[in-house]
Chain A
C-alpha cells in the first residue's frame, strides 16, 4: 500500500466553481502535512501547511482528519490560474517526506 494516495483526476471545473481534493495516508504516526502546487514542467511550490484545527488562506481551505487519516483541500471561486497539479505531502518526523502522485485540476473559462 502506498504511504500517500490521491485521486489523480483530472478534475475539469468551470471558473467560479468549488472543488475539493482528498488525500489519504497510511502511517497513523505521521506528524506534518502539506499541500503543494506544481505547474507543468515546473518545481512544486508550497501552497499551505495543514494544521489539526484546519486552516484557511483566502480561497483555499485545508483540513486534517487524523481519525480517518486523510487531508483535504478546498478551492472556492476557482480561477483559470488555479489550473495545476496539487500534491499532498505527509512527513513522519525522523523518517521522510512522502508525496502523493498529484491531482490534476483544469479550470475552464
Chain B
C-alpha cells in the first residue's frame, strides 16, 4: 500500500517564476492538505481540498493556488515566487470518514529553494 507521494523532491527556482508541486494521496484517502514548513518552524496550513474543491484555507496570499483531480491527487501552484517562499512543502492526506478521520499522513515533501 503506497503512502503519500510527492514530486519533485527538490526544486530550485528564481524570484518571479512559477512552480507546480504534485501529490498523490494514500490509498483510500480523499482529502489532501498542503503545508509550508520553514526551517525550525512547525508546518503552516496552506489549504485543503476535498471533492475537487478548496474546502479550507490558511493565511496565505492568492499567489498560492491548488487543484484536486478526480483521482484525489493534487497540485500546489505558487506564482510570482519570492525569496521567502523557500521552504519544505508538505502534502498530507486523510480520510473524511471513519475512526481515522482527520488523522493526516504526510508525504516526504518538496524542498523549494528560490534564488
Contact = CB atoms under 8 A, between A and B. Distances in A.
Given A98-B45, A99-B43, A43 B90 contact: yes
Interface in A65-98: 87, 91, 94-98
B106 A101 contact: no
Residues of A in contact with B, size category? 20 to 34
Interface stretch (B12-20, B61-69, B76-84, B97-105): B97-105
By Cβ-Cβ distance, the 5 closest A-B pairs, closest first, are A99-B42, A43-B106, A96-B45, A101-B42, A99-B43
A95 B48 CA distance: 10
If over half of A's interface residues share one DSSP class (helix, strand or loop), that class is named, otherwise mixed; here it is strand
Interface of A: 4, 32, 34, 42-46, 49, 87, 91, 94-102
17 contacts: A4-B42, A32-B102, A43-B90, A43-B106, A43-B109, A44-B106, A46-B105, A87-B42, A91-B102, A94-B56, A95-B56, A96-B48, A96-B56, A97-B45, A99-B35, A100-B42, A101-B40
Interface residues of B, number: 21
